[in-house]
Amino acid sequence: MKTNQIFKTLFLSTMFLCIMVALPGFAQQSNGNSSAQPASVSSTQSASDLSPLPDTKPRDFWDGDDPNLVNLVTHPFANKKYVQRQVGPIRDRLNELDELTSENSRKIKDVDGRAQQGIQLASEKSSLADQHATDAANKAQLAQTAATQASTRVSTEEKIVGNIDQYNGTAQTEIRFLSGQSVLSKAAKDALDRMAVPLKDQRSYIIEVRGFSAGHGQAAIASSQKMADSVVRYLVLNHQIPVYRIYVVGMGNAPAPGANGTMTKPASGGRVEVSVMKNDLAASAQQ
């Protein structure tokens, strides 16, 4: 009994759905017949009396402005393409926006990468410029130090040169020779040793050697020069006195200055006066 009732209910439901689906078809067919009759009647009329063509745009529940219950019921089964048609442009637009977003992101990354490279390059150049500036400052400091040292040395040398002729006699030794001879005696050598030993490792001194001889003219000068050369040779060979510190002159029979400033005549025979002169100002400046 219950099974029969279920079959009847299903049958009625199926019939109802079939009727609802068939109604739009009948409605469209009736609309087509009604629109065909005026067309046949209007064929005999002039073109100016024809009525405007009907709008071909569908007028269902969503597209038109005259909704009805049938379109409302059948729309979910009949207008799937409409939804696709409406959603399609939106989907295309979204795809375009995605492409634009991707392109903008790529450009932004590209610009950011180039900016980072530029910043890094600028930083490297700035570091290199700082290093060059530091090197230049160090070189300038070294140059300034060298200039100061050179100026100090120049001042010292100028002082030494200014005092170069400020020599004072500190010791004088007289070497006697027999007439017509230029050989040094033992007493003469001992006297020269006593004078030369204190001069070892000293600076700022000169030795003046002057020879005097009896006679006249060039013969006396040659004899005095020969005796003075004997003294110089002994000092250079036995005491390593630099030759450039020794000044030799043959005076001949010229008078020599006395103790009181008067000129005295040379004694008979020959003699050599050896004077040691030191420049105390130059020595103190070098120290």
H helix count then E strand count, the chain: 6, 6
Confidence band, pLDDT 50/70/90 cuts, at residue 279: confident
- How many other C-beta atoms lie within 10 A of the C-beta of residue 166? 13
Q: Considering the entire predicted model, what is its pTM?
A: 0.41
**Is pLDDT larger for residue 33 or for residue 269?**
269
Distance CA 241, CA 262 (A): 32
Cα 275 from Cα 207, distance rounded (Å): 6
Closest to 166 in 3D by CA, of 7, 16, 277 = 277
Q: Which of 84-88, 113-117, 202-206, 281-285 has the highest mean pLDDT?
A: 113-117
To the nearest whole number, what is the mean pLDDT of the chain? 75
Domains annotated on the chain, with CATH? 168-286 (3.30.1330.60)
